[in-house]
């Protein structure tokens, strides 16, 4: 073979090799990109983006509602939803926030009905405007009459009864039930459920916006009535205040509560709080958003016209370790 022929053969071989490598690189590169895209979209909706308004009666900075919001945000991320979250404890102002969502022509509204009388008018307006509405956390007795599609939460009366049953079993005779927001039907129902089981239960109304005022009120009550053997609070942060009140009053009353947070988990571990009634707030936020997405994209309605109950369950020293690992992420 001549030197010219050898050079020509080498050029052809090199060209074929380069082409082959380029083809492999192109295929491999494209496959890598496709694999990465699939990984990014795994478990995420590819449906068109929709807008959902979440309007609650309490909001950012409250440990319970931060967990609700986390659930709603996770569902929104999965479902390709633009989540617009607003909150106001005043019933009329919360209703105004819902009206603003109606004016924006959102695709769905998730809301609480802690003060149903203030909310029913605007909820019916949303339904009349063909905007699907789901309720969470509050309004178990009223949501159907307003035309709301689904409800996610616990039956507060049943939860109160179960809390009362547990206290009774543990020997409670003179508990107090601390209500930190007047007019909130869910909180009232909890205490009513307890009172059905333990008629001697006293109600103590406090200002939930002022920890100092709450501590003073609970301390004063414990000092005045040494027979009080249980203090039942209706929120994790309120339980923390009650622990301080117990110490200030030199009381032997046991502290129990509704709802959890990372601080509350620590208190149960330390034994300063005996147990908590858990209604899984993360699940309430998640399911509310997911229901609205399912309704729009596939016509699904969860619950079959019945409330979807997320609680109650008890967290105490026997199972707090299992819950703690999830609480660290802000989702329990």
| CATH no., domain 156-278 | 3.40.50.2300
What string of pLDDT tens digits covers the 332 residues of the chain? 444 444 444 443 344 333 433 444 444 455 444 444 444 445 788 999 999 999 999 988 888 999 999 999 999 999 999 999 999 999 999 999 999 999 999 999 999 999 999 999 999 999 999 999 999 999 999 999 999 999 999 999 999 999 999 999 999 999 999 999 989 999 999 999 999 999 999 999 999 999 999 999 999 999 999 999 999 999 999 999 999 999 999 999 999 999 988 899 999 999 999 999 999 999 999 999 999 999 999 999 999 999 999 999 999 999 999 999 888 888 88
Find all residues with CB under 8 Å of 156, minimum gap 6, and list them. 140, 185, 186, 187, 189, 190, 193
Topology given in CATH for the domain delimited by 50-154+281-312 = Rossmann fold (3.40.50)
Q: Cα–Cα distance between 277 and 329 in angstroms, integer?
A: 20
Predicted pLDDT of residue 332? 86
Say if 50-154+281-312 and 156-278 have the same CATH topology. yes
Q: Cα–Cα distance between 102 and 294 in angstroms, integer?
A: 20
The domain locations on the chain are 1-42, 50-154+281-312, 156-278
Which residues pair with residue 258 across a beta bridge? Answer: 277
Predicted pLDDT of residue 8? 42
Q: Cα–Cα distance between 33 and 91 in angstroms, integer?
A: 50
Find all residues with CB under 8 Å of 295, minimum gap 6, and list them. 108, 132, 149, 301
């Amino acid at each position: 073979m001549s030197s010219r022929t050898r050079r020509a053969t080498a050029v052809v071989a090199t060209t074929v090799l380069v082409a082959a490598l380029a083809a492999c690189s192109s295929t491999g590169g494209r496959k890598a990109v496709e694999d990465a895209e699939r990984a990014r979209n795994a478990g995420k909706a590819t449906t068109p983006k929709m807008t959902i308004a979440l309007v609650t009666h309490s909001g950012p900075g409250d440990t319970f509602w931060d967990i609700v919001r986390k659930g709603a945000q996770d569902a929104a991320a999965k479902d390709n939803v633009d989540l617009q979250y607003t909150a106001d404890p005043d019933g009329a102002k919360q209703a105004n926030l819902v009206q603003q969502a109606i004016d924006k022509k959102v695709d769905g509204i998730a809301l609480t009905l802690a003060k149903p009388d203030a909310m029913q008018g605007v909820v019916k307006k949303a339904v009349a405007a063909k905007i699907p509405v789901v309720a969470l956390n509050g309004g178990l007795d009223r949501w159907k009459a307003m035309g709301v599609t689904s409800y996610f939460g616990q039956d507060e009366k049943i939860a109160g009864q179960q809390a009362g049953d547990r206290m009774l079993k543990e020997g409670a005779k003179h508990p107090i039930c601390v209500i930190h927001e007047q007019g909130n039907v869910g909180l009232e129902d909890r205490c009513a459920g307890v009172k059905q089981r333990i008629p001697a239960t006293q109600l103590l109304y406090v200002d939930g916006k002022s920890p100092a005022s709450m501590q003073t009120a609970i301390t004063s009550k414990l000092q005045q009535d040494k027979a009080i053997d249980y203090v039942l609070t209706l929120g994790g942060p309120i339980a923390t205040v009650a622990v301080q009140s117990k110490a200030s009053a030199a009381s032997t009353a046991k502290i129990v509560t509704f709802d959890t947070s990372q601080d509350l988990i620590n208190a149960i571990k330390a034994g300063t709080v005996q147990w908590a009634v858990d209604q899984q707030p993360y699940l309430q936020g998640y399911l509310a958003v997911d229901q609205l997405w399912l309704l729009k994209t596939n016509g699904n309605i969860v619950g079959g016209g019945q409330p979807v109950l997320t609680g109650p369950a008890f967290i105490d020293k026997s199972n707090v370790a299992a819950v703690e690992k999830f609480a660290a992420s802000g989702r329990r």
